[in-house]
Amino acid sequence: MSNLRFDDFKEFINGKKAAVIGVGISNTPLIRWLVSLGCKVTACDKNTADDPMLKKNIEALSDCAEGIEWSLGENYLSHLNDDFYDIVFKTPKMRFETPELQALKEKGSILTTEMELFMNLCPAQIFAITGSDGKTTTTTLTAEILKNSGYTVWVGGNIGTPLLDKVNQMWSDDMVVLELSSFQLLGMKTPADVAVITNITPNHLDFHTDYDEYIQAKVNIFRNQGPFGKVVLNAGCDLTYDMKDVARSRVDLFSADKANVMRTDSPLYRRAYVENGRLIYEDKGSKTDICGVDEIFIPGEHNVENFLAATCAVIDYVKPEDIAYVAKNFKGVPHRIEFIRELDGVRWYNSSIDTSPNRSLNTMKALAARNEKGVLICGGADKKCIYTGLGDSILNVCDRIIIYGSNAGLVTDIIEKEANGRKYEIYRIPDKEGDVYEFPETRDNVVNAYKEALNKAREWAKPGEIVIMSSIGTSYDHFRHFEHRGDMFRDLVNELK
């Protein structure tokens, strides 16, 4: 079956000039794909050719190098002032008001992103999930339930693989599930068919001009939906609950606390909540029992909320037993309270996804609910987030804390402020700016810092306790991304003897 939108784009792009800004995970296959369609591409990146990751990506594109010109280094955008490009793909972390982009727009260039073009060309039903916390787990749950129901499912966005170069392989009865960040949604005009917002808390304020811009970027996931779209909103978060008033589409509300979803008595809103220890989906007074809370394999109240959000997303496409099966059998995703191994009676966990104080706070709540005690390894780069409540949640689980990261002072301060007489120990590993794992000359510094953290954790932890790496910050002070940090941590733990 032909994808008419792709066919039209294929005809349009042949012979055109495109600039692709940022040669990373998603834009590298984009460049290859554009060249294969007969487009002349200029690839722009602020890194130089000796950057390890960029070097790999350049090598990966060597077989289509004839169609690519390169603009690298500090002045990588300067040539945009002199040339004309029919279409420009910006990296998600570049703002549309960047002067060079605005100059191109004034000349008539189309400004877009790899993700927005994909959403325009995709022939399949698109489920998109965003939020400050829980979006990766909710995305994965949504995909797993749809797969369990027999659909062909494509997963992309912030997880999975880039999908734009696969759009011509998709069919109208396939399902696409995307995790979308505020960076990807900033300026987005194309809505998802089914949109989910898990929650909103202050995040990425080192990028957004203010908190309101961050919130409005999230709203873009459903802002332009028509009457047959659906948006799923967390009724336990006032910010997301109030977004129902913006929606022109169907609205589903979810919250583990039934009182939250009952704040409105409108029969137009469908609801998912917990009642008598059971996950319930209610549509105009008709209740569907999904499963018991105690049947959900992965721990934590926040994961109950993730299941409720996923239930609302898929309920029109699957049977209740499909949801229940995944609830009982899904063992979680890597880097989210991921069990690594048990050594000398101590269980080691990786939660590198905890890139904000609120994520780590939820992790600590989940561990406290299981009466876990032990040692915390933390530290990362701050995103101008709120740390209130973090110190208390940490000390409910871990009274021994090892910190390596540029936000060490912020973490230390909130623990001291919220200790309320509780005793604790902090072991701080000096953080040297410029020590980056990607560069061979500083890699050993980063690895050795984590080895020191692991050795200290082994010294402190007792049989029956846990050691968990929950970062409380992004990985960008020392790593390419949080998966990279978590993978290295897992490898080092598995090397322990």
Q: Is the pLDDT of residue 200 over 70?
A: yes
Q: Are the C-beta atoms of residues 395 and 418 closer than 8 Å to each other?
A: yes
- Residue 2: its pLDDT value, please? 58
Q: Which tokens go with 188? A: 């987005």
User: CA–CA separation, 7 vs 168, rounded Å?
Assistant: 9
- Residue 383: its pLDDT value, please? 83
Q: Is the pLDDT of residue 490 over 90?
A: yes
Please give the order of strands across the beta sheet that includes 40-45. 68-72, 40-45, 17-21, 87-89, 110-112
Please give the average per-residue pLDDT across 227-253, as a whole number. 95
Beta-ladder partners of 409: none
**Which of 191-200, 229-238, 476-485, 486-495 has the least mean pLDDT?**
476-485
303-343 pLDDT per residue, tens: 999 999 999 999 999 999 999 999 999 987 788 888 899 99
* Beta carbons within 8 Å of 99's beta carbon, 6+ residues apart: none
User: CA–CA separation, 121 vs 168, rounded Å?
Assistant: 9
Per-residue b/e over 371-396, b at no fewer than 16 CB within 10 Å? ebbbbbbbbbbbbebebeebbbbbbb
Give the global pTM: 0.80
- Residue 428: its pLDDT value, please? 97
The CA-to-CA distance between both ends of the chain, in Å, stands at: 56
Mean pLDDT of the chain: 93
Q: Which domains does the chain have, with CATH numbers?
A: 9-112 (3.40.50.720), 116-329 (3.40.1190.10), 338-495 (3.90.190.20)
- Residue 369: its pLDDT value, please? 86
**202: confidence class by pLDDT, cuts 50, 70, 90:** confident
Residue in the block written with tokens 């007969």: 38
Please give the average per-residue pLDDT across 364-371, as a whole number. 91
Percent of the chain with pLDDT over 70: 100
Please give the average per-residue pLDDT across 113-132, as a whole number. 96
Please give the average per-residue pLDDT across 56-75, as a whole number. 92
